[in-house]
Amino acid sequence: MLELPDPQLAFAFEARVDVAATLDIGDGLQFTPITGGSVSGPRLRGRVLAGGGDWSTTRDGVTTLDARYLLEASDGSVIDIHNRGFWRASPSVEARVEAGEDLPEDMYYYRTSPVFQTDAPAHRWLASSVFVGLARGERGQVCIRFFEVL
């Protein structure tokens, strides 16, 4: 039987996403509007466009995330991102986050599975690879480091 290699990750970029106050829709469903932000890294630079948002549902201590928004690369190309994931933490860590404290990523689980779409030739690599996102809250932003699975 042929041995498969373990996956490797290559850092592509970080998005620092500005968000407005979360709206409570009811029955555990919330919506957080995305108002802008920045993109920087070795493979992509640009900005997060205002107008998207993150729909989240919390059940039994686990928050399911479903965000949809647009990135504009420094060359003007527009990239659609659909970013799904999970956030979970111990009750004590969750209370610290709710109180506004920025905590290290290893204190909670905040991971995403983004899918990108674009027809821009310079950025087609985003739409033809698998990525994983490691997220954290930092100074009122959601910061997501995107890694390409090699």
Cβ(14)–Cβ(46) below 8 Å? no
What pLDDT is stored for residue 110 in this prediction?
A: 95
Q: Give the pair of three-digit tokens for residue 23.
A: 């709206």
What pLDDT is stored for residue 148 in this prediction?
A: 98
pLDDT average per 10 residues of sequence, the chain (150 residues): 92 98 93 98 98 94 96 98 96 87 89 97 97 92 96
Tokens 């490691």 belong to which residue? 134
What pLDDT is stored for residue 135 in this prediction?
A: 95
What pLDDT is stored for residue 25 in this prediction?
A: 95
All domains of the chain, ordered by start, with CATH?
Answer: 15-103+115-149 (2.40.160.20)
What pLDDT is stored for residue 141 in this prediction?
A: 92
What pLDDT is stored for residue 16 in this prediction?
A: 98
Q: What residues does 143 pair with on adjacent strands?
A: 16, 136
CA angle 135, 140, 146 (to 5 degrees): 20
Sign for the pseudo-dihedral over CA of 69, 72, 77, 83: negative
What pLDDT is stored for residue 53 in this prediction?
A: 97
CA dist., res. 110 & res. 130, Å (int): 18
What pLDDT is stored for residue 105 in this prediction?
A: 85
Q: What residues does 67 pair with on adjacent strands?
A: 54, 83
Q: What percent of the chain has pLDDT over 90?
A: 81
